[in-house]
């Protein structure tokens, strides 16, 4: 696979990223309500990630957007916690280390912004992602944290930064 780059989100990425996110949710036959699929902010990630103490990284290869991953100060999380959000890749980009690179870039940004923990929500059907999270220090929780609005998610995990 040719080299890919990771860069901050651009306004022009909005439609492509919304398509990647919604297609991945549909591909796994996950609920569309109570997830990023129906969340209206998915249509304008660029605007969403202008929020203070947030960032969104995009993986790109030869001008093609492969996916992205962000850090966001979701409502109701404990002090020092951020959420790993909108972490989706196009099918052709999976299993090539791109997701790992995006996730680590997001962790680096979170630590630079002063976060002590990273929370995420997912689904059991996202087996490869959950395995990657566990290998990278995430542990499962018995209940959700905060008020993300993604009530359909039923896997909750948190990672403590060093």
pLDDT 10s digits, 122-156:
999 999 999 999 999 999 999 999 888 888 899 99
- Judged against a pLDDT cut of 90, whether residue 119 lies above it is answered with yes
On the question of pLDDT at 1 being above 60, the answer is no
**Residue 42 vs residue 151, higher pLDDT:** 42
Domains of the chain with CATH codes: 5-160 (3.40.630.30)
Tell me if residue 22 falls in helix, strand or coil: helix
pTM of the model: 0.94
Mean per-residue pLDDT over the chain, rounded? 94
Which among 53, 70, 158 has a CA at the least distance from the CA of 106?
Answer: 70
Provide the pLDDT confidence category of residue 66 given band limits of 50, 70 and 90. Answer: very high
Taken in order 160, 38, 132, 110, the sign of the CA dihedral is negative
φ and ψ of 98, to 5 deg: -70, -45
């Amino acid at each position: 696979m040719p080299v890919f780059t990771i860069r901050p989100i651009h306004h022009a990425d909005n439609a492509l990223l919304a398509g990647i996110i919604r297609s991945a949710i549909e591909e796994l036959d996950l609920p569309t309500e109570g997830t990023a699929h129906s969340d209206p902010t998915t249509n304008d990630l660029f605007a969403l990630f202008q929020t203070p103490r947030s960032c969104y990284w995009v993986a790109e290869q030869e001008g093609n957007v492969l996916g992205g991953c962000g850090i966001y100060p979701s409502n109701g999380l404990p002090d020092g916690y951020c959420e790993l959000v909108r972490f989706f890749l196009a099918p052709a980009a999976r299993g090539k280390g791109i997701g790992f690179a995006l996730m680590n870039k997001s962790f680096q940004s979170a630590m630079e912004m002063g976060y002590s923990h990273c929370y995420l929500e997912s689904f059991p059907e996202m087996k490869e992602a959950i395995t990657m999270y566990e290998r990278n220090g995430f542990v499962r929780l018995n209940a959700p944290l905060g008020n993300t609005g993604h009530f359909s998610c039923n896997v909750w995990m948190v990672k403590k930064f060093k």
